[in-house]
Structure 1
Amino acid sequence: MFAQMLKTVLQIGGIYLFYETGMWIQQKFHVPIPGSMIGLFLLFICLSTGMVRVKRLQSGADALLSWLPLLFLPSVIGVIEYGGFLKQHGLQAVAVVFISTVLVMCLSGWLAQWLAMRKEGVDERVDQRGNIHRCHARGVHRDETSV
């Protein structure tokens, strides 16, 4: 019993080390990504490459995951507390969330494509007839007609 508890605590400590490493990297190098995400990415890399075996962190991760629903409790209580607001404006709130989600997805996709073409050195223009003209930085031209 004590050995299992000690093993779980040590494994949680191992996961915490990845978090702290990510925080250190973020602060030291002024990376615009949250340190917790950097730590999570490092943990993913170590697990994917086999540098850290899953069984070395399994019981600690299971213990943390068992407490995860408790973290969502304040959100649920907030929703319950504002029940009157949701009865009055619930449909509008859902519409705003849905529309903003679709807009963020579309803009993110467009931005990703634009950045990818910019990285490749592609300049894309659409003429009045709807034809797409792509000019590569190397001087290669390719015309496509949109459907």
Structure 2
Amino acid sequence: MKLQILHDIDDDGNEIVNVPLSKSTSFATLYLEDYNELMALGVSSRWTLNQGIVSICVPKRSCLSVARIITDAAGERVAYANGDKTDLRRSNLVFAGKGNSKIRARDFVVPTPRLYSKIEIQHVYKDKHGQTGTIAGSVMT
């Protein structure tokens, strides 16, 4: 299986990443620095929509909201300023009062053993002319 992570620049000049969502034609959009932080935490690259929320599935817990991991929310509800739940850029993620969950989603992130994964990830970059180029893939989850 191959995932293509698309790198681009948003209208404000920020480096962004578009991560494909499994069983969907949609992508989640987030800042490159947040994507890199998630990968450093060991978050899987296999993301899905769970009840309309971009999520990862982890052992001993059903799913975790990627927005809650990015914001490190604990006890707060995370809302989406523009209403688009696939837009995970920090500028779109806002705290909206107390939430039902008192947990920090990051506490439940289980580093994914990338060594045994069968998913190849390709990073595709757009240049200033809108042309794309692929950087050699790596085997990850």
TM-score by length of 2: 0.21
Structure with greater helix percent: 1
Structure with greater strand percent: 2
TM-score by length of 1: 0.20
Q: Which has the higher contact order (CA 8 A, sep 6+)?
A: 2
